[in-house]
């Protein structure tokens, strides 16, 4: 488990991380969402022990991570711009990381390189951006660490490689003690892989929720009422977060279980009624608007 308690980090006059407190449970995919400059990369670097917080602390399984080599062996950190030795090949990097991580699986790494169509003998400097991202991920997976930090790791991957990368993470979660933490500025990128998502804004955590819990407690309803008098009757019984109308079609995003919400609508006569699935984007729009933010201006688009 990762426990982050009231950490702050400034670079001169720039307050990159502002009093963040966060708990990341084991064996789940945790997504950190936020625009460029929201503090995602700085937070990951403190979680990896690369940076020391100005105040507060980061504990990995109950131990401080900064200046703690034994704790850092539990972590593989893939930065947005991964560093490789000059003139190095993938085989060179394999040997390097095998010397750092006792559990590094060289056979699996070689097999994954072959499966992804990457050459171990070609200089990494000749790789495309996407190929470098793939290599970083394969090194991280083969290291067999308990925690894998991925900073915009899927950025630059084509759709096929992106899905293959997600499948790799899912496979390791099924077969060993493994917790990936993934940052992105794109909600859609993480929707089908994350169990829990935290939204960072201006260095602080605006929202941190379990996705399934949010989905179970938020409903999207489209309906056309037969009688105008039924509208107020229904709305008085609902906890409405968002309400849009297009002609006679009403679209509600409401808080509550599906059963309880549908029971309310069964009490009135509708020409049309449908319960729709919410996307992660819609869930965050609903949740952040309640606390006074418009996420569409922060992330979407």
Give the pLDDT confidence score for residue 19 in this predicted structure. Answer: 92
Q: Is the pLDDT of residue 156 over 90?
A: no
Provide mean pLDDT across the span 193-204: 85
Q: What is the pLDDT of residues 67-95, one digit of tens each?
A: 999 999 999 999 988 899 999 999 999 99
Q: Is the pLDDT of residue 300 over 70?
A: no
Give the pLDDT confidence score for residue 293 in this predicted structure. Answer: 61
The pTM for the full model equals 0.82
Q: What is the phi-psi region of residue 287: left when phi exceeds 0, alpha when psi lies from -120 to 50, beta otherwise?
A: alpha
Give the pLDDT confidence score for residue 185 in this predicted structure. Answer: 77
Q: Is the pLDDT of residue 5 over 80?
A: yes
b/e per residue, 66-99, with b = 16+ CB within 10 A? eeeeebbebbbbbbbebebeeebbbbbbbeebbe
Contact (CB, 8 A) for 136 and 88: no
Enumerate domains of the chain plus CATH numbers. 2-202 (3.40.50.300), 213-298 (3.30.70)
Q: What is the mean pLDDT of the chain?
A: 89
Residue 213: pLDDT band (50, 70, 90) is confident
Give the pLDDT confidence score for residue 278 in this predicted structure. Answer: 84
Q: How many Å apart are CA 59 and CA 187, to the nearest integer?
A: 27
Return the SS3 of 125.
helix
Q: Is the pLDDT of residue 45 over 90?
A: yes
Higher-confidence position of 157 and 161: 161
Percentage of the residues of the chain whose pLDDT score is greater than 90? 64
Residues 6+ apart with CB under 8 A from 290: 241
Pick the range with the lowest mean pLDDT from 29-33, 35-39, 165-169.
Answer: 35-39
How many CA atoms within 13 Å lie on the side-chain side of 115?
A: 14
Give the pLDDT confidence score for residue 108 in this predicted structure. Answer: 96
How many CA atoms within 13 Å lie on the side-chain side of 148?
A: 29
Give the pLDDT confidence score for residue 294 in this predicted structure. Answer: 61
Percentage of the residues of the chain whose pLDDT score is greater than 70? 95
Give the pLDDT confidence score for residue 100 in this predicted structure. Answer: 94
Residue 158: pLDDT band (50, 70, 90) is confident
What number of other Cβ atoms are within 10 A of residue 135's Cβ? 24
């Amino acid at each position: 488990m990762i426990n982050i308690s009231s950490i702050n980090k400034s670079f001169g006059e720039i307050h990159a991380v502002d009093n963040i407190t966060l708990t990341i449970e084991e064996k789940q995919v945790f997504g950190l969402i936020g625009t460029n400059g929201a503090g995602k990369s700085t937070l990951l670097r403190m979680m990896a022990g690369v940076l020391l917080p100005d105040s507060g602390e980061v504990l990995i399984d109950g131990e401080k991570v900064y200046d703690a080599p034994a704790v850092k062996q539990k972590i593989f950190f893939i930065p947005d711009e991964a560093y490789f030795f000059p003139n190095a090949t993938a085989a060179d990097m394999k040997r390097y990381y095998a010397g750092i991580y006792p559990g590094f699986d060289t056979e699996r790494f070689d097999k994954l390189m072959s499966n992804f169509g990457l050459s171990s003998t070609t200089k990494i400097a000749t790789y495309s951006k996407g190929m470098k991202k793939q290599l970083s991920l394969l090194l991280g997976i083969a290291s067999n660490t308990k925690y894998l930090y991925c900073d915009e790791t899927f950025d630059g991957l084509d759709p096929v490689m992106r899905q293959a990368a997600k499948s790799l993470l899912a496979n390791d979660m099924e077969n060993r003690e493994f917790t990936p933490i993934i940052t992105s500025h794109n909600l859609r990128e993480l929707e089908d892989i994350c169990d829990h998502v935290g939204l960072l804004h201006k260095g602080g955590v605006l929202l941190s929720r379990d996705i399934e819990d949010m989905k179970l407690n938020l409903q999207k309803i489209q309906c056309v009422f037969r009688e105008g008098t039924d509208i107020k009757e229904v709305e008085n019984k609902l906890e409405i977060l968002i309400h849009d109308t297009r002609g006679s079609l009403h679209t509600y995003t409401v808080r509550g279980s599906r059963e309880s919400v549908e029971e309310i609508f069964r009490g009135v006569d509708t020409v049309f009624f449908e319960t729709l699935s919410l996307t992660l984007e819609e869930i965050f729009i609903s949740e952040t608007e309640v606390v006074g933010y418009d996420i569409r201006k922060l992330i979407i688009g």
